[in-house]
Structure 1
Amino acid sequence: MINIKFGTDGWRAIIAQEFTVKNVTRVAYGTALWLKEHKQKSSVVIGNDPRFAGKLFAETTAKVFANAGIKVFLSSTDFVSTPMVSLGTTLLKADLGVIITASHNPPAYNGYKIKASYGGPATPDMIDQVENLIPSGVPLELLSIEEYKKQGLIELIDLEDMYVKHVEEKFDLDAIRNSGMNFAYDAMYGAGQNVMRRLFPDATFLHCEHNPGFDGQAPEPIHKNLEEFSELIKLSGDIDSGLATDGDADRIGLYDSEGNFVDSHHILLLLIHYLHKYQGLNGDVITTFSCTQKIADLCKAYNLPHTITKIGFKYICDLMVNSGKQVLVGGEESGGLAIAGYIPERDGIWIGLTIWEFMAKTGKSLDDLIEEVYAIVGSFAVERYDLHLTEDKKQAIISACQNRSYKSFGSFEVSSVEDMDGFKFHFGDGSWVMIRPSGTEPVLRVYAEAPTSQAAFKILDATKATLLA
């Protein structure tokens, strides 16, 4: 039996290799044990994204919980997004949520994410406790879903419907629909497709079919995976903005009317600008170590507290839930963002609708709104390379970073180094490069910030040449 370890955001493994019914049963059993230890009478919300065999794994999980005497609210639709499970957990006042998803990972993977009662990622401490309760085997005789339904232990629930109603209550959808602006949505074959069709039937849709293999591509909403969408927007000539979400619809990808990718650094700035300047809201801003320095600059201009955390939305969520402070915006570079007035959870659709509402209510284009932010903090670009290396080479680079062996990258002289989570090398003029191993893949991520995209790539190229020398 494999030793099951949760990564940055849940347990993920290759379907039929390690992600099997037997191993999912073990994880569900450990989670159920944890819940029973902490609560006498408890309930859980369970759903799955559109990945291969998602329903099978969700039903297996549901049966394990029901077998332990825990009330299960099981999603009745073919698939749901992670935010639908998180929101459902809070609205149904459940003690836990479980979503079967591997998020943006390649199609061969599936995964298991745990959500806490507050509708956000479980704390690292709780995950450690669950891990320690996962047995090496579970000789359970599970009944059918129908049998557990008869016993009142499993109840089918339409989480999609709950989510749509919540969106309709919280957003001025009429303003968006009647703005005269045209919008497009790329589901990347993921879990957001049905909801967006319901909310915006007149939008332009791409990859909004059920395709459990995601057409062979990892459903991560980054530009290199969205070039078809970008081209569609360019060629249309009349689409004002395009929204893309990942496999479980908790991450966002955004495009302007020219088909240019708008990264999370810019989205975070737009959210702060909209919520504070236009809506008069205040609160803390929490961002991860890989985000642009411009966020600190905008917070300073608006007199908003700003906290930087390690990379991983769970650290942001922890502060949103436990700091006792009102959080205005929380987010990470990889497209996971959250805002005040909602659950402490990433939600690509929720954030996309916030930006579209900002455009609709001001009558301004995305470019105009970004220019408003640039007028305060200056223009910038953050770019990223993913270096696929052998484990030995990766470890040698990390060791060199730890030993402060890198004094320069090409012509870029290092002035200072931060190592909160990975290694950020500052060059003294506001530009920097950051090196960090991925928490979920055999990859070394390299980020750079500079005044222009061209300048950022120059830093990346110099860094890559130094690292691989």
Structure 2
Amino acid sequence: MERIQFGTDGWRGIVASQFTVANVAKATSATATWLLRKYSNPEVVIGYDTRFLGRMFAETAAKVLAAKSIRVRIAEDFVTTPMVSLAVKELGTSLGIMITASHNDYRYNGFKVKGSYGGSLLADDLRDIEHLISIEKEFDLELFRWDVFIELELIKYIDLEDLYFNYIRDHFDLKQINKAGLKIVFDAMYGSGQRVIKKILKKARFLHCTVDPQFGFTPPEPLERNLQEISEYIRKSGDFDLGLAIDGDGDRIALVNGDGQYIDSHRIILILIHYLAKYRNLSGKVITGFSSTSKVDRLSLSYGLMITRVPIGFKDICKIMLTDEVLVGGEESGGIAIQGYLPERDGIWIALTILQFMAETGKSLDDILKEIYKVTGPFACSRRDIPISKEKRSRIMEKCRMGEYRSFGRFEVESIDELDGSKFCFNDDEWVMLRASGTEPLLRIYSEARDRETAEEILEAAYKTVIFGD
């Protein structure tokens, strides 16, 4: 049996291959062992999204926990990951388990674990659970009956969406947002945020708000290449102020402006820093991932904010948010958290924060970005995901570590940073970064430059150097 490993965002696998009922039971049983060592009377919240067999896998996890006398509150229907995280914190439970593969394509499902604070479980705890999985025996689910656990109240259903909606309503001025006259298109990408958003944004136009476990054969990741439909819809209409898109389990976000142009997470992080520091007069650290734009540093320093860069994976941002006053914590992938909420990514929370900003000031996305560019200057970031074998990935990353790449096309390497993967820095805040994905069989190449053409040129040069020069 293939070893169950937790990557940057939990354990994921192809359904019926790595991700099976037996493996979910094994992972949950090990998690239960860890819980019982850490808590005297643990309780767990379980949720699942719109993926294939999500409910079945969630019920499998619930049965395993109940069989070990751990009380479970399981979602009545599909939910977002932040709904589980919020419930863990608000209900005071010990742990959250979310059955989701986030932005992966439809073949995958996964197993995310959330700590009692409502955020990603920390690396040391994940390693402990991984070790327990490696020595865990097979779990015979046939010995246990769902109806008995329900009768004993070891398993209870809970409306996590209602809890989340009430919390949103208490923390945002939804009347102001809905009366601001903003014309919004929302793309749920067939994910689990599709139902609650209709309660929140009553006048928006909605795309892909149906359940399709195949996600229209497009990975539910809010990248530019996956959002052509919403961009074209806004462009052709000419009648909308912005578009919002969240990923399959609702913890990542992207924007589209009124011209149908994609607004990436780099700019969303900058918008949040700008709003919270300048317009709300808030302070705190800015924590961002290694692959985020260098302009985060420039804008943060202009407001006197300390910035820290961390390896890819939100758990490192979460860890700092648990101990320090953090204003914004965000990643290039679109997972962003802000002060005054959970130490957790939440696409809907971030969307509403930006809508609140626009409603309060009457500014468009373009107006806001123009203010930011006065400080940062223009820039462009790009990314390419390359499916290659594990062996070739390892060879490329070893060459990076050995310093064998000194140029990529016409771009000469001036310095190398190896916080996570390898970032090769050129002149003028331009760079390329190579990193093996922690959740998928991919080599990721990231770049930043002063304009889109140069960023793409850097990507292409890096691709040719490492793939054809290997």
**Band of TM-score, shorter chain:** over 0.9
Q: How far did residue 140 of structure 1 move? A: 4.7
Partner of 2:30: 30
Cα distance in structure 2, aligned partners of 1:136 and 1:145: 21
Percent identical pairs in the alignment equals 50
Q: How many aligned residue pairs are there?
A: 466
Please give the alpha-carbon distance, in whole angstroms, between the structure 2 residues aligned to 1:316 and 1:325. 10
Q: Deviations over 1:375-418 (max 9, x none)?
A: 11111111111222233332222122111111111111111111
Which residue in 2 is equivalent to 1:406?
405
The Cα shift of 1:428 comes to: 2.4
> 1:282: how far off?
0.6
1:50-70, CA deviations, whole angstroms, 9 ceiling, x for partnerless residues? 101111111111111111111
* Contact residue 187 and residue 245 of structure 1 kept, 8 A: yes
Residue-by-residue CA offset, 1:13-56 (whole Å, 9 max, x unaligned): 11111211111111111111111111111100001001011111
Indicate if the aligned counterparts of 1:185 and 1:206 stay in contact, CA closer than 8 A: yes
> What is the letter of the counterpart of residue 383 of structure 1?
S
**Aligned match of 1:40:** 40
User: Larger deviation: 311-320 or 401-410?
Assistant: 401-410
Amino acid at match of 2:82: P
2:259 alignment partner in structure 1: 258
Shift of 1:429: 1.9
User: Structure 1 residues 455, 92: closer, same or farther in 2, change over 3 A?
Assistant: same
The aligned residue for residue 378 of structure 1 is 377
- Would you say the 8 A contact 2:63–2:141 is kept in 1? no
Describe the superposition over 1:298-336 as per-residue Cα deviations: whole angstroms up to 9, x where unpaired: 111100111110111010001111xx3211100110011
Q: Is the 8 A contact 1:284 1:305 kept in 2?
A: yes
SS in structure 2 at match of 1:383? strand
| Structure 1 spans left out of the alignment, 5+ residues | none
Report the equivalent of 1:70: 70
Cα shift at 1:136: 3.4
Distance 1:164 1:392 in 2: 46
For residue 359 of structure 2, what is the amino acid of its counterpart?
A
1:49 maps to 49
Given that residues 67 and 142 in structure 1 are in contact (C-alpha distance below 8 angstroms), is that contact kept between their aligned partners in structure 2?
Answer: no
**Aligned twin of 1:199:** 200
Whether 1:215 and 2:216 are equivalent positions in the alignment is yes
**Corresponding position of 1:416:** 415
TM-score (normalizing by structure 1): 0.97
Aligned-partner SS, 2:149: helix
Instruction: Supply the distance in 1 between the matched residues of 2:141 and 2:49 (Cα, whole angstroms).
Output: 26
1:1-12 correspondence runs (5 A): 1-12=1-12
Give, in whole Å, the separation in 1 of the partners of 2:143 and 2:361. 56
CA positional deviation for 1:142: 4.4
Does 1:267 pair with 2:250? Answer: no
1:278 — aligned with what?
Answer: 279
**Given the two structures, how large is their TM-score scaled by the length of structure 2?**
0.97
Determine if contact 1:63/1:142 at 8 Å carries over to the other structure. no
1:230-249 to structure 2, matched below 5 A, reads 230-249=231-250
Deviation by residue 1:259-281 (Cα, 9 ceiling, x = unmatched): 11111110001000001100011
- Where 1:44 maps in the other structure, the secondary structure is strand
Q: For residue 463 of structure 1, what is the aligned residue in structure 2?
A: 462
Alignment partner, residue 289 of structure 1: 290
Q: Which range moved further: 448-457 or 383-392?
A: 383-392
Amino acid at match of 2:80: S
CA distance in structure 1 between the partners assigned to 2:125 and 2:441 by the alignment: 26
Deviates more, 1:330-339 or 1:6-15: 6-15
Question: Which amino acid in structure 2 is aligned with residue 457 of structure 1?
Answer: E
Matched, 1:446 2:445: yes
- Tell me which moved more, 284-293 or 433-442: 433-442
Q: Measure, in 2, the Cα distance between the counterparts of 1:454 and 1:201.
A: 39
- 3-state DSSP of counterpart to 2:195: helix
State the Cα distance separating 1:144 from its structure 2 match: 3.0
- Aligned residue in 2 for 1:139: 140
Task: Tell me the SS of whatever aligns to 1:355.
Answer: helix
